[in-house]
């Protein structure tokens, strides 16, 4: 009877440690997975912060672009107005000399 107890419990001492090794391996695997999950959450949080910053920059740049476009439109209108003003004054000067030129031509033709 003593020999039967000895043979079933001993072997090489490995049977008694197997449940602990499996439990230890499972604990390490669970810890590793926990770390991976936490790392993914951290990455997502950082990514969402970066995306929010980029969105804010984009909104600011869009507002600046609209302001610049408005300034460009105003400057273009001002240049157009100035050109029309110069043409009008040029036409007035031409119109002032036109009657005298016409009379000279008529005088020269007779």
* Total domain count, the chain: 1
Average pLDDT over residues 91-99: 73
Instruction: Evaluate if residue 97 carries a pLDDT over 80.
Output: no
DSSP string spanning the chain?
A: -HHHHHHHH-TTS-TTTHHHHHHHHHHHHHHHHHHHHHHHHHHHHHHHHHHHHHHHHHHHHHHHHHHHHHHHHHHHHHHHHHHHHHHHHHHHHHHHHHHHHHHHHHHHH-
Domain enclosing residue 20, as ranges: 2-109
Write out the two tokens for 78: 């001002």
Query: Which tens digits make up the pLDDT trace of 26-83?
Result: 999 999 999 999 999 999 999 999 999 999 999 999 999 999 999 999 999 999 999 8
Q: What is the pLDDT, as a whole number, of residue 5?
A: 44
Instruction: Evaluate if residue 8 carries a pLDDT over 60.
Output: no
Query: pLDDT-derived band of residue 102, with 50, 70 and 90 as boundaries?
Result: low
Q: What is the C-alpha separation between 78 and 85, in angstroms, rounded?
A: 10
């Amino acid at each position: 009877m003593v020999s039967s107890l000895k043979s079933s419990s001993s072997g090489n001492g490995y049977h008694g440690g197997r449940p602990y090794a499996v439990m230890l391996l499972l604990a390490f695997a669970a810890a590793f997975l926990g770390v991976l999950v936490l790392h993914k959450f951290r990455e997502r949080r950082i990514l969402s912060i970066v995306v929010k910053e980029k969105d804010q920059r984009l909104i600011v740049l869009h507002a600046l672009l609209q302001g610049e476009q408005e300034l460009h439109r105003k400057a273009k209108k001002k240049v157009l107005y100035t050109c029309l003003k110069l043409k009008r004054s040029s036409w007035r000067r031409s119109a002032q000399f036109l009657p005298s030129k016409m009379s000279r031509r008529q005088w020269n033709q007779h």
